């Protein structure tokens, strides 16, 4: 199966049928789609006992039933009441006011024309309930319960991510159902409010529309839709317009010269994908992305220089809940490239079986996905490749790219990178920016861009590229985090501690050793290096951490020859605190 979807959630009334059971043709199509590997979930506002009265075979046609508008879950012959029932004291009040109603396990159902009476009684009783409309029907439910919340419980029960699910509905109470899934579909005769929120509107009504969907190309991955509801914010143009990237159903290339912020941009995208609930697997050859492990549900593997067992990696991402950063910074280039090539087919097979991980991010992709890379024969999207040498990527890999994000360094966009992507003409002709003067008047001005500037465009499309400034990160970005923290630098780049007259006999081959040495060297050694600005210079020139270098410099300049023991002790504490905060020590 090449589809990104593993579950199909379907409303009943108005979607599968307009009364009675679904048609035999529709039931046959449901059976076929389940045989292809899809989990099919019925999500209905109906009381399930009432549904079985008109459709006795319902359990045989669905993997899971979500009833009472998301309040009840039934699967494997078990009933799960997801919330406490609507307060029973409401019953006597409604009888006194001649309001006909029915009770399920959780909800209370009546006609829509009684909405004002129900509102009055809910206020009077101080009941924490909500009214939910379904065309002419009205349901009273505990606050927070919806088809969307019920479906999320159902998907968790099946071990399927909402980002691997598609939902179909027709009425107002299906809005949350559609919004809970990666792709929301409205049947052709759905209410206007649902059509406005759907990613796809079918051409035919109710069961006929669903039958066409079940037999058509969308579910099988032959047609891709980029849901507008799921977007990643990259930054803003000169006139303040947000530049967004589809969060699914695309392949992205991030390219730029050395120190142009490629890893920063990859992390900016990855952390938002994680925040949206996507399962991300990131291969990190240089240790740039380990701080992403501070985010909830992100697991860092391999940070001690030991390649993680592929089965452990697959286990982390297989449920579609957790993301993984595979830190390869402390192993050799040949070993890490071989590891990525070994694991990628396993991840692609997991996508075939379970639809996850939703995204695979590969930094320094030219090393592992070079010209001789055997591209797996699958059509899944969701790859983010990061490189300063796009020309070295395998042609089959480059051919799948949907968007390119070009990043400028201090001297603009690297012309070799632009040339490798055949972008010269497109960039020369592009009227970047929506506001006059946002783009330099003479030439295309690629060399006038600076660090933090970027260009986004869709490959093979006529749409103009967008020039913008990258947005801020949630997690502080630190280049080569584990590489400089634990890996041993070449001896000529070590930090050697000394005082005014002689070598102190202490050296640091990485930031971890530097931190330990800084804790124990004498005040005379500390004063000597601080007065000379040695600490900040080493952090800038060797570690290439501008932010930490600046923080150290601000502390160093306060140290003079007459600094007291108390002042030097405070200097040591401040230097250590800056280092510990930056690297999470």
DSSP 29-97: HHHHHHHTT-EEEEE-SS-HHHHHHH-TTHHHH-SEEEEGGGTEEEETTEEEE-SPPPPTHHHHHHHHT
For residue 50, count CB atoms less than 10 angstroms from its CB and return exposed for 0-12, middle for 13-18, buried for 19 or more: middle
Answer with the one of 144, 179, 194 that is the final residue of a domain.
144
Q: Are 327 and 301 in contact (CB under 8 A)?
A: yes
pLDDT tops 60 at residue 1: no
Q: Is residue 219 part of a domain?
A: yes
Q: Are residues 372 and 330 in the same domain?
A: yes
Q: Are 538 and 511 in contact (CB under 8 A)?
A: no
pLDDT tops 50 at residue 441: no
How do residues 268-293 score in pLDDT, each as one tens digit? 999 999 999 999 999 998 888 888 88
Alpha helices in 355-440 (DSSP H): 365-368, 395-399, 415-420, 424-429
Mean pLDDT of 214-230: 90
Range from 188-197, 243-252, 288-297 carrying the lowest mean pLDDT: 288-297
pLDDT tops 90 at residue 182: yes
Highest mean pLDDT among 42-51, 351-360, 481-490, 534-543: 42-51
**Mean of the per-residue pLDDT values of the chain:** 88
- CATH for 6: 3.40.50.1000
Answer with the one of 123, 144, 165 that is the final residue of a domain.
144
Q: Do the strands 129-134 and 165-169 form a parallel or antiparallel pair, or are they unpaired? A: unpaired
Q: Are residues 553 and 512 in the same domain?
A: yes
Q: Is residue 56 part of a domain?
A: yes
Q: Is residue 480 part of a domain?
A: no
Q: Is residue 476 part of a domain?
A: no
How do residues 452-464 score in pLDDT, each as one tens digit? 899 998 988 777 7
Q: Is residue 479 part of a domain?
A: no
Alpha helices in 454-494 (DSSP H): 481-486
- Please tell me the predicted confidence (pLDDT) of residue 294: 84
Domain with 119, as residue range(s), is: 83-144
Q: Are residues 304 and 403 in the same domain?
A: yes
- Please tell me the predicted confidence (pLDDT) of residue 501: 77
Q: Are 239 and 434 in contact (CB under 8 A)?
A: yes
pLDDT tops 50 at residue 431: no
Distances (CA, A) of 143 to 22, 132, 370, 422, 525: 31, 10, 54, 55, 64
How do residues 20-55 score in pLDDT, each as one tens digit? 899 999 999 999 999 999 999 999 999 999 999 999
- 463 vs 359, higher pLDDT: 359
Q: Are 243 and 468 in contact (CB under 8 A)?
A: yes
Number of folded domains in the chain? Answer: 4
Q: Does an H or E element contain 197, and which?
A: helix 192-197
pLDDT tops 90 at residue 504: no
Q: Is residue 483 part of a domain?
A: no
Q: Are 288 and 479 in contact (CB under 8 A)?
A: yes
CA 208/CA 211 separation, integer angstroms = 5
pLDDT tops 50 at residue 337: yes
- Please tell me the predicted confidence (pLDDT) of residue 241: 93
pLDDT tops 70 at residue 267: yes
């Amino acid at each position: 199966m090449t589809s990104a979807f593993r579950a199909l959630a379907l409303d009943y009334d108005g979607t599968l049928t307009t009364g009675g059971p679904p048609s035999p043709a529709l039931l046959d199509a449901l059976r076929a789609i389940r045989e292809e590997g899809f989990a099919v979930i019925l999500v209905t506002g109906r009381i399930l006992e009432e549904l079985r009265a008109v459709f006795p075979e319902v359990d045989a046609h669905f993997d899971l039933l979500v009833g009472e508008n998301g309040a009840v879950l039934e699967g494997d012959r078990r009933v799960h009441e997801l919330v406490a029932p609507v307060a029973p004291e409401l019953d006597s009040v409604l009888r006194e006011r001649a309001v006909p109603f029915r009770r399920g396990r959780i909800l209370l159902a009546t006609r829509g024309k009684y909405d004002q009476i129900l509102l009055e009684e809910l206020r009077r009783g101080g009941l924490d309930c909500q009214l939910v409309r379904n065309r002419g029907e009205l349901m009273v439910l505990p606050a927070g319960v919806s088809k969307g919340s019920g479906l999320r419980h159902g998907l968790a029960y099946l071990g399927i991510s909402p980002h691997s699910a598609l939902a179909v509905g027709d009425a107002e109470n299906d809005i949350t159902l559609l919004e809970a899934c990666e792709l929301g579909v409205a049947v052709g005769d759905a209410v206007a409010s649902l059509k406005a929120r759907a990613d796809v509107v079918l051409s035919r009504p109710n069961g006929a529309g669903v039958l066409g969907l079940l037999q058509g190309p969308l579910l099988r991955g032959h047609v891709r839709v980029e849901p507008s509801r799921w977007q990643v914010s990259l930054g803003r143009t000169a006139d303040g317009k947000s530049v967004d990237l589809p969060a699914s159903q695309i392949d992205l290339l991030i390219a730029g010269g050395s120190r142009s912020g490629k890893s920063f941009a990859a992390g900016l995208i990855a952390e938002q994908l994680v925040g949206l609930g996507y399962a991300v697997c990131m291969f990190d050859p240089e240790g740039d992305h380990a701080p992403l492990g501070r985010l909830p549900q992100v697991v860092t593997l391999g940070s001690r220089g030991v390649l993680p067992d592929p089965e452990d990696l697959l286990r982390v991402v297989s449920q579609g809940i957790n993301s993984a950063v595979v830190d390869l910074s402390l192993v050799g280039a040949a070993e890490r490239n071989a590891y990525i090539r070994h694991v990628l087919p396993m991840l692609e097979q997991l996508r075939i079986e379970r639809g996850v991980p939703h995204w695979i991010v590969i930094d320094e992709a030219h090393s592992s996905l070079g010209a001789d890379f055997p591209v797996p024969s699958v059509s899944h999207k969701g790859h983010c490749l990061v490189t300063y040498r796009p020309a070295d990527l395998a042609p089959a890999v480059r051919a799948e790219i949907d968007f390119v994000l070009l990043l400028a360094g201090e001297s603009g966009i690297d012309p070799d990178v632009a040339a490798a992507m055949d972008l010269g003409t497109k960039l020369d002709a592009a009227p970047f920016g929506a506001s006059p003067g946002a783009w330099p008047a003479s030439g295309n001005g690629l060399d006038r861009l600076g660090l933090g500037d970027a260009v986004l465009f869709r490959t093979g499309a006529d749409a103009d590229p967008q020039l913008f400034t990258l947005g801020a990160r949630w997690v502080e970005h630190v280049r080569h985090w584990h590489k400089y923290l634990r890996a041993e630098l070449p001896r000529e780049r070590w930090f050697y501690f000394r005082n005014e007259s002689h070598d102190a006999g202490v050296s640091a081959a990485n930031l971890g050793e530097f931190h330990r040495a800084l804790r124990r060297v004498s005040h005379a050694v500390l004063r000597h290096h601080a007065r000379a600005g040695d600490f900040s210079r080493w952090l800038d020139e060797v570690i290439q951490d501008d932010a930490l270098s600046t923080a150290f410099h601000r502390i160093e300049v306060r140290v003079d020859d007459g600094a007291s023991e108390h002042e030097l002790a405070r200097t040591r504490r401040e230097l250590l605190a800056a280092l510990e905060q930056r690297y999470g020590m």
